[in-house]
Amino acid sequence: QGLVFVVFQLRLRLLASACGEEGAAATMAVREVSGHDSLRILRSQLPTFIEGLPRPDGHAVPQIWVPETVPVGPGAPLSWTFADAAATCTVRPDHLQPLDALKEAGLIGEKLDKAGVEAWLKEHDGKEAKVGGITGLPTHFVVVQDGNKPEAPGKPRTITIRCARDGDEVINDDGTKTVALGMTDGGEIRQFLGGKPLEAALIMLCRALHITELTCEVTTATGAQTTHVITDALLQVDEAASYLCGDKWGACRFPVPFGRPELPEEAAIHELDGRTGASLKFTLLNRSGRVWTLIAGGG
Protein backbone atom coordinates (compact mmCIF):
# COMPACT_ATOMS: atom_id res chain seq x y z
CA GLN A 1 0.00 0.00 0.00
CA GLY A 2 2.88 2.36 0.72
CA LEU A 3 4.24 1.75 -2.79
CA VAL A 4 0.83 2.39 -4.34
CA PHE A 5 0.55 5.63 -2.36
CA VAL A 6 3.96 6.95 -3.43
CA VAL A 7 3.45 6.02 -7.09
CA PHE A 8 -0.02 7.58 -7.14
CA GLN A 9 1.20 10.79 -5.52
CA LEU A 10 4.29 10.92 -7.75
CA ARG A 11 2.15 10.53 -10.86
CA LEU A 12 0.02 13.50 -9.82
CA ARG A 13 3.08 15.65 -9.05
CA LEU A 14 4.72 14.79 -12.40
CA LEU A 15 1.53 15.68 -14.23
CA ALA A 16 1.33 18.91 -12.26
CA SER A 17 4.93 19.73 -13.14
CA ALA A 18 4.16 19.27 -16.83
CA CYS A 19 1.10 21.52 -16.58
CA GLY A 20 2.73 24.52 -14.88
CA GLU A 21 2.00 26.33 -11.62
CA GLU A 22 -1.71 25.49 -11.62
CA GLY A 23 -1.15 21.92 -12.76
CA ALA A 24 -1.80 20.37 -9.36
CA ALA A 25 -5.43 21.51 -9.38
CA ALA A 26 -5.84 20.75 -13.07
CA THR A 27 -4.79 17.10 -12.79
CA MET A 28 -6.97 16.23 -9.80
CA ALA A 29 -10.71 16.10 -9.23
CA VAL A 30 -10.51 18.55 -6.33
CA ARG A 31 -13.73 18.89 -4.32
CA GLU A 32 -14.39 21.09 -1.31
CA VAL A 33 -15.77 19.18 1.66
CA SER A 34 -18.55 20.51 3.88
CA GLY A 35 -17.68 21.99 7.27
CA HIS A 36 -19.35 19.12 9.10
CA ASP A 37 -17.44 16.47 7.17
CA SER A 38 -14.15 18.37 7.45
CA LEU A 39 -14.35 18.36 11.24
CA ARG A 40 -15.67 14.79 11.30
CA ILE A 41 -12.70 13.51 9.27
CA LEU A 42 -10.19 15.33 11.48
CA ARG A 43 -11.88 14.10 14.65
CA SER A 44 -11.83 10.47 13.56
CA GLN A 45 -8.49 10.30 11.73
CA LEU A 46 -6.00 12.86 13.09
CA PRO A 47 -5.36 11.26 16.54
CA THR A 48 -4.02 8.12 14.85
CA PHE A 49 -1.39 10.10 12.96
CA ILE A 50 -0.20 12.18 15.89
CA GLU A 51 0.01 9.08 18.09
CA GLY A 52 2.12 7.35 15.43
CA LEU A 53 4.77 10.08 15.30
CA PRO A 54 8.17 9.35 16.90
CA ARG A 55 8.74 11.63 19.89
CA PRO A 56 11.62 12.44 22.21
CA ASP A 57 12.02 10.30 25.34
CA GLY A 58 9.83 11.44 28.18
CA HIS A 59 7.47 13.43 25.95
CA ALA A 60 3.79 12.50 26.19
CA VAL A 61 1.62 12.16 23.11
CA PRO A 62 -0.06 15.52 22.41
CA GLN A 63 -3.82 15.43 22.76
CA ILE A 64 -6.12 16.49 19.94
CA TRP A 65 -9.54 18.01 20.55
CA VAL A 66 -11.93 18.45 17.63
CA PRO A 67 -15.61 19.26 18.29
CA GLU A 68 -18.40 16.84 17.60
CA THR A 69 -20.71 18.01 14.83
CA VAL A 70 -24.17 17.18 13.56
CA PRO A 71 -25.37 17.98 10.03
CA VAL A 72 -28.83 19.37 9.37
CA GLY A 73 -30.39 19.57 5.92
CA PRO A 74 -33.02 18.17 3.56
CA GLY A 75 -33.83 14.65 4.72
CA ALA A 76 -31.57 15.06 7.76
CA PRO A 77 -33.41 16.76 10.64
CA LEU A 78 -31.57 17.75 13.80
CA SER A 79 -30.39 14.68 15.70
CA TRP A 80 -28.94 15.50 19.12
CA THR A 81 -26.46 12.61 19.27
CA PHE A 82 -23.67 14.35 21.19
CA ALA A 83 -21.87 12.35 23.87
CA ASP A 84 -22.13 15.36 26.19
CA ALA A 85 -25.81 16.16 25.84
CA ALA A 86 -25.61 19.20 28.13
CA ALA A 87 -22.81 21.14 26.40
CA THR A 88 -23.79 24.18 24.35
CA CYS A 89 -23.34 24.47 20.60
CA THR A 90 -22.75 26.85 17.73
CA VAL A 91 -24.94 26.54 14.65
CA ARG A 92 -24.35 28.06 11.22
CA PRO A 93 -25.05 27.45 7.51
CA ASP A 94 -22.74 24.87 5.93
CA HIS A 95 -22.17 26.28 2.45
CA LEU A 96 -18.41 27.05 2.66
CA GLN A 97 -18.86 30.76 3.44
CA PRO A 98 -16.18 32.45 5.59
CA LEU A 99 -17.09 32.75 9.26
CA ASP A 100 -16.58 36.52 9.20
CA ALA A 101 -19.16 36.86 6.41
CA LEU A 102 -21.63 34.65 8.30
CA LYS A 103 -21.19 36.73 11.47
CA GLU A 104 -21.73 39.94 9.55
CA ALA A 105 -24.93 38.49 8.10
CA GLY A 106 -26.15 37.42 11.56
CA LEU A 107 -26.12 33.74 10.60
CA ILE A 108 -24.22 32.25 13.51
CA GLY A 109 -26.01 31.12 16.65
CA GLU A 110 -23.71 30.69 19.64
CA LYS A 111 -23.90 29.08 23.10
CA LEU A 112 -27.21 27.37 22.36
CA ASP A 113 -28.71 24.31 24.01
CA LYS A 114 -30.89 21.86 22.11
CA ALA A 115 -34.01 24.02 22.36
CA GLY A 116 -32.02 27.07 21.30
CA VAL A 117 -30.61 25.29 18.25
CA GLU A 118 -34.08 24.09 17.25
CA ALA A 119 -35.46 27.62 17.52
CA TRP A 120 -32.54 29.08 15.55
CA LEU A 121 -32.97 26.54 12.76
CA LYS A 122 -36.70 27.19 12.60
CA GLU A 123 -35.99 30.90 12.19
CA HIS A 124 -33.33 30.56 9.47
CA ASP A 125 -33.92 27.32 7.55
CA GLY A 126 -35.07 28.04 4.00
CA LYS A 127 -35.14 31.80 4.59
CA GLU A 128 -33.39 33.94 1.99
CA ALA A 129 -30.16 35.47 3.27
CA LYS A 130 -27.41 37.69 1.91
CA VAL A 131 -23.87 36.58 2.71
CA GLY A 132 -20.87 38.44 1.35
CA GLY A 133 -22.96 40.16 -1.30
CA ILE A 134 -24.53 36.88 -2.52
CA THR A 135 -28.20 36.14 -1.93
CA GLY A 136 -29.37 32.56 -1.52
CA LEU A 137 -31.34 30.09 0.56
CA PRO A 138 -29.41 28.28 3.30
CA THR A 139 -30.43 24.63 3.11
CA HIS A 140 -27.66 22.86 5.00
CA PHE A 141 -26.39 23.65 8.47
CA VAL A 142 -23.78 22.33 10.87
CA VAL A 143 -24.22 22.19 14.65
CA VAL A 144 -20.82 22.34 16.37
CA GLN A 145 -20.63 21.31 20.02
CA ASP A 146 -17.94 23.65 21.29
CA GLY A 147 -19.26 24.47 24.75
CA ASN A 148 -17.10 21.71 26.25
CA LYS A 149 -13.82 22.57 24.54
CA PRO A 150 -10.69 22.54 26.75
CA GLU A 151 -9.33 25.83 28.02
CA ALA A 152 -6.58 26.95 25.66
CA PRO A 153 -5.50 30.52 26.51
CA GLY A 154 -2.88 30.59 23.74
CA LYS A 155 -3.26 32.80 20.68
CA PRO A 156 -5.38 31.22 17.91
CA ARG A 157 -3.41 30.41 14.78
CA THR A 158 -4.22 29.22 11.30
CA ILE A 159 -2.44 26.23 9.76
CA THR A 160 -2.76 25.43 6.07
CA ILE A 161 -1.42 22.30 4.36
CA ARG A 162 -1.47 22.57 0.58
CA CYS A 163 -0.51 20.08 -2.12
CA ALA A 164 2.07 21.76 -4.38
CA ARG A 165 4.25 20.75 -7.32
CA ASP A 166 7.38 19.97 -5.28
CA GLY A 167 5.78 18.59 -2.15
CA ASP A 168 3.39 19.78 0.53
CA GLU A 169 3.37 23.39 1.67
CA VAL A 170 2.95 24.11 5.37
CA ILE A 171 1.74 27.67 5.98
CA ASN A 172 1.57 28.95 9.56
CA ASP A 173 2.72 31.87 11.71
CA ASP A 174 6.35 31.02 10.95
CA GLY A 175 5.90 31.40 7.19
CA THR A 176 5.85 28.72 4.50
CA LYS A 177 7.88 25.52 4.29
CA THR A 178 7.66 22.83 1.61
CA VAL A 179 7.97 19.21 2.72
CA ALA A 180 9.40 17.26 -0.22
CA LEU A 181 7.42 14.27 -1.42
CA GLY A 182 10.40 12.01 -0.84
CA MET A 183 10.41 12.89 2.87
CA THR A 184 8.11 10.20 4.23
CA ASP A 185 9.35 9.51 7.77
CA GLY A 186 7.16 11.20 10.37
CA GLY A 187 10.09 11.91 12.68
CA GLU A 188 12.09 13.49 9.85
CA ILE A 189 9.10 15.65 8.86
CA ARG A 190 8.61 16.74 12.47
CA GLN A 191 12.27 17.73 12.77
CA PHE A 192 12.15 19.59 9.42
CA LEU A 193 9.15 21.58 10.70
CA GLY A 194 10.95 22.70 13.85
CA GLY A 195 9.75 19.90 16.12
CA LYS A 196 6.04 20.67 15.64
CA PRO A 197 4.06 17.43 15.97
CA LEU A 198 0.69 18.83 14.90
CA GLU A 199 1.95 20.12 11.55
CA ALA A 200 3.81 16.86 10.94
CA ALA A 201 0.70 14.80 11.75
CA LEU A 202 -1.40 16.98 9.42
CA ILE A 203 1.10 16.33 6.60
CA MET A 204 0.86 12.57 7.15
CA LEU A 205 -2.94 12.79 7.31
CA CYS A 206 -3.19 14.77 4.07
CA ARG A 207 -0.93 12.36 2.21
CA ALA A 208 -2.69 9.24 3.43
CA LEU A 209 -6.20 10.59 2.75
CA HIS A 210 -5.33 12.47 -0.48
CA ILE A 211 -6.36 15.81 0.98
CA THR A 212 -5.16 18.48 -1.42
CA GLU A 213 -5.70 21.39 0.97
CA LEU A 214 -6.48 21.64 4.67
CA THR A 215 -6.99 24.80 6.69
CA CYS A 216 -7.69 24.67 10.42
CA GLU A 217 -7.96 27.10 13.32
CA VAL A 218 -5.96 25.94 16.34
CA THR A 219 -5.23 27.05 19.87
CA THR A 220 -2.74 25.14 22.01
CA ALA A 221 -2.83 24.56 25.73
CA THR A 222 0.54 23.69 27.28
CA GLY A 223 1.26 22.23 30.67
CA ALA A 224 1.71 18.70 31.94
CA GLN A 225 0.31 17.59 28.60
CA THR A 226 -0.04 19.59 25.38
CA THR A 227 -3.53 19.80 23.91
CA HIS A 228 -4.21 21.13 20.42
CA VAL A 229 -7.75 22.50 20.22
CA ILE A 230 -9.05 22.63 16.64
CA THR A 231 -12.13 24.83 16.48
CA ASP A 232 -12.75 24.95 12.73
CA ALA A 233 -11.47 23.27 9.57
CA LEU A 234 -12.06 23.06 5.83
CA LEU A 235 -10.74 20.31 3.58
CA GLN A 236 -10.38 19.76 -0.13
CA VAL A 237 -9.91 16.20 -1.37
CA ASP A 238 -8.89 14.60 -4.64
CA GLU A 239 -12.09 12.74 -5.45
CA ALA A 240 -10.22 10.60 -7.99
CA ALA A 241 -8.59 8.88 -4.98
CA SER A 242 -11.88 7.78 -3.46
CA TYR A 243 -11.18 4.15 -4.40
CA LEU A 244 -8.05 4.32 -2.22
CA CYS A 245 -9.33 6.06 0.89
CA GLY A 246 -13.08 6.61 0.51
CA ASP A 247 -13.68 4.39 3.54
CA LYS A 248 -11.65 6.81 5.69
CA TRP A 249 -13.44 9.85 4.27
CA GLY A 250 -16.86 8.35 4.93
CA ALA A 251 -19.91 9.75 3.16
CA CYS A 252 -18.92 13.34 2.36
CA ARG A 253 -21.08 16.18 1.06
CA PHE A 254 -19.49 18.43 -1.54
CA PRO A 255 -21.45 21.72 -1.41
CA VAL A 256 -22.16 23.79 -4.49
CA PRO A 257 -21.47 27.55 -4.26
CA PHE A 258 -23.92 29.45 -2.08
CA GLY A 259 -26.63 31.17 -4.06
CA ARG A 260 -27.25 28.47 -6.65
CA PRO A 261 -28.66 25.01 -5.94
CA GLU A 262 -27.20 21.94 -7.61
CA LEU A 263 -29.48 21.11 -10.52
CA PRO A 264 -30.63 17.51 -11.18
CA GLU A 265 -28.60 17.33 -14.39
CA GLU A 266 -25.45 18.41 -12.55
CA ALA A 267 -26.12 15.96 -9.70
CA ALA A 268 -26.44 13.10 -12.19
CA ILE A 269 -23.07 13.90 -13.78
CA HIS A 270 -21.38 14.31 -10.38
CA GLU A 271 -22.75 10.95 -9.29
CA LEU A 272 -21.45 9.34 -12.48
CA ASP A 273 -18.09 11.05 -11.98
CA GLY A 274 -17.82 9.63 -8.48
CA ARG A 275 -18.24 5.98 -9.54
CA THR A 276 -16.21 5.85 -12.75
CA GLY A 277 -12.56 6.26 -13.61
CA ALA A 278 -13.37 9.19 -15.89
CA SER A 279 -13.21 12.84 -14.85
CA LEU A 280 -16.65 14.25 -15.62
CA LYS A 281 -17.64 17.83 -14.85
CA PHE A 282 -20.85 19.60 -15.87
CA THR A 283 -22.22 23.03 -15.03
CA LEU A 284 -25.53 24.18 -16.50
CA LEU A 285 -25.17 27.89 -17.17
CA ASN A 286 -28.63 28.62 -18.54
CA ARG A 287 -31.33 26.04 -18.14
CA SER A 288 -33.54 27.84 -20.65
CA GLY A 289 -30.78 28.28 -23.24
CA ARG A 290 -30.61 26.36 -26.50
CA VAL A 291 -26.83 26.48 -26.95
CA TRP A 292 -24.50 24.61 -24.59
CA THR A 293 -20.90 25.69 -24.24
CA LEU A 294 -18.53 22.78 -23.75
CA ILE A 295 -15.07 23.36 -22.30
CA ALA A 296 -13.00 20.20 -22.36
CA GLY A 297 -9.39 19.21 -21.87
CA GLY A 298 -7.31 16.12 -22.28
CA GLY A 299 -3.96 14.66 -21.44
Output the pLDDT for position 294.
65
Output the pLDDT for position 104.
92
pLDDT band of 103, cuts 50, 70, 90 = very high
Output the pLDDT for position 266.
82
Percent of the chain scoring above 90 in pLDDT: 53
* Cβ 84 vs Cβ 148: under 8 Å: yes
* pLDDT tens digit sequence for 118-128: 999 999 988 88
| Domain boundaries 68-148, corresponding CATH code | 3.30.1490.20
Exposed/middle/buried for residue 110 (C-beta within 10 Å: 0-12, 13-18, 19+): middle
Using CA atoms in the order 197, 199, 200, 202, what is the torsion angle rounded to 10 degrees?
Answer: 120
> Measuring CA to CA, which residue among 204, 282, 210 is closest to residue 252?
210
Output the pLDDT for position 70.
96
* pLDDT tens digit sequence for 237-290: 998 888 899 899 999 998 887 877 778 888 888 778 767 766 677 777 777 777
Given a cut of 50, whether residue 186 has pLDDT beyond it is yes
Output the pLDDT for position 280.
76
Mean pLDDT of the chain: 85
Average pLDDT over residues 220-242: 89
Output the pLDDT for position 256.
80
* Cβ 131 vs Cβ 258: under 8 Å: yes
Spatial CB neighbours of 145, under 8 Å, sequence gap ≥ 6: 67, 68, 69, 70, 82, 84, 87, 88, 89
Output the pLDDT for position 295.
63
Output the pLDDT for position 240.
82
Output the pLDDT for position 20.
45
* Cβ 129 vs Cβ 107: under 8 Å: yes
* pLDDT tens digit sequence for 28-78: 578 899 999 999 999 999 999 999 998 877 788 899 999 999 999 988 899
Domain boundaries defined on the chain: 30-62+153-251, 68-148
CATH 3.30.460.10, domain 30-62+153-251, yes or no = no
- Specify whether the backbone of 111 is left (phi greater than 0), alpha (psi in -120 to 50) or beta: left
